[in-house]
Amino acid sequence: MTLDKDKMLQYCNDFSKNTLMQTLNIEFIDAGEGFLVAKMPVNPSVHQPMGLLHGGASVALAESVGSAASHFFINDTEQEVRGIEISANHLKSIREGVVYGTARIIHKGRTLHLWEIKVTDEAGNLISLCKLTNMVLTKEKKQ
């Protein structure tokens, strides 16, 4: 697939409207061969009660960017993507600023995509390391 970075980012940001991604202010900002990057602000709306970035918000960022990245490799008129498993290791905490989720393909099969997603802060420190498995399904034909 030939990547048109601007079109891919526009597509990802457009399909995020009226979703959890919009609620969390996730914005897709970079794309390239086998990777996709999104950012999310860290503020009280994504904190846990101790005032730190909630692990679930980190995982939501990771799944959002990893699932969107699978669109690089499918025919979206005939296929769709479903996340079927995600794991996360939270390694560092953050109270404010911006985090970045960078999804990189590990395995690109016909029916399964495996992604590694690194969630980092503005200084490049690793906040969470996630692994996402997506299943590629054939869209059901509408009658």
What's the rounded Cα separation, in Å, for the pair 95 and 121?
10
pTM, 2 dp: 0.94
Among 107, 34, 94, smallest CA distance to 61 is for 94
Q: How large is the greatest C-alpha to C-alpha distance in the chain, in angstroms? A: 51
Exposure of 118 in the CB half-sphere (CA atoms within 13 A): 11
Q: How many CA atoms lie within 13 A of 122 on its CB side?
A: 8
Catalytic status, residue 122: no
From the list 27, 33, 63, 85, the catalytic residue is: 63
Quote the CA–CA distance of 59 and 45 in Å, as a whole number.
15
62-111: pLDDT as tens digits: 999 999 999 989 998 999 999 999 999 999 999 999 999 999 999 999 99
pLDDT in tens, 98-114: 999 999 999 999 999 99
